[in-house]
Amino acid sequence: MIITVTLNPALDHTIWVENLVVGGLNRTERAQLDCGGKGINVSVVLAQLGIESRAMGFLAGDTGKIVLQGLPSKVMPSFTWLDAGSTRINTKLYHGATGDTTEFNALGPTPTPSDLTRLLADIERYVEECTYLVLAGSLPPQVPQDFYGKIIALAKSRGVKCVLDTSGPPLVAGVKELPWMIKPNRMEAEYLSNIKIERIEEAVEVVNLWLGIGIEFVVLTLGSDGVLFADNQHKVWARGAAPLIRSTVGCGDAMLAATLGYLQLGHSWMDTVHFATATATATVTTEGTSFRPLHEIALFLDLVTIEIL
């Protein structure tokens, strides 16, 4: 079983305009509403792969109910409900003339100290049933920066492999607890290591630092330069050649889900890297926060290049 924890879920509202008029009237060509939040995205992709997961975190208000209703049947919801506020709505504006996507991410509701205690108790109730515990996304307002670290310490004490995918101070605090895996992007990696990553050699240097302190698995995403997958036995640079890029939203979440899902199914490390990169490549060809089903991901396997470092 894989548990995903999304402390600050969202409804992702994607809108398309052909020509953006700043300061004027814009009429949308179409719109799409998806369940969002990094951990929830991981659960949705796992469901596409036929793998069950338990989705945890905070939901609130009518928008929280919409998120709940939009989850696939293979996602078991065990959210902690907040008494005040509403789950946030994030807006993603796709500008057809330029191909750019502009994102507006809301803060989300503020959990009380009692809410945090209830969530920790809920996680403790279910944590022993899982192999992987995924902590993904931003923290809601006023949540202590070390809250992910507390969850990691709890899960590790029960023998669970923790995966951390966040940024800023929560990433720094969480890494101190030595999760099993981290999945930073280039900017997050530079922030965490204070090393500028311009070449693959610098990416390897950064990854070696984290492996050296006891993190066992690193997935470092480098945008158009591909992904570096690394553990103490392997370092692999993988790149996918997408035929058409429509949206990068959820690409890293899809890769993470594919990585954990394939490992849980018993596939080899190299096959997992290949499939996870193909999944990310397939995702950038979709619109909004949406993901390809398993049979379509298979079509992207031949577009992946893997270099053993």
pLDDT in tens, 4-50: 999 999 998 989 898 888 899 998 888 888 888 999 999 999 998 89
Distance, in Å, from the CA atom of 277 to the CA atom of 254, rounded to the nearest integer, reads 9
In angstroms, rounded to a whole number, what is the distance separating the alpha carbons of residues 277 and 114?
40
Structural domains of the chain sorted by starting position, each given as residue range(s) with its CATH number in brackets:
2-7+37-88+110-308 (3.40.1190.20)
**Per-residue pLDDT in tens (0 to 9) along the chain, 309 residues:** 999 999 999 998 989 898 888 899 998 888 888 888 999 999 999 998 899 999 999 999 999 999 999 999 999 999 999 999 999 999 988 888 887 888 898 999 999 999 999 999 999 999 989 999 999 999 999 999 999 999 999 999 999 999 999 999 999 999 999 999 999 999 999 998 989 999 999 999 999 999 999 999 999 999 888 999 999 999 999 988 777 666 666 778 999 999 999 999 999 999 999 999 998 888 877 765 667 777 778 888 888 889 888
Question: CB count, 10 Å around CB of 23?
Answer: 5
Tokens representing 225 are 């330069």
Task: Please tell me the distance from the alpha carbon of residue 213 to that of residue 201, in angstroms, as a whole number.
Answer: 19
Q: Which residue has the tokens 């596409």?
A: 48
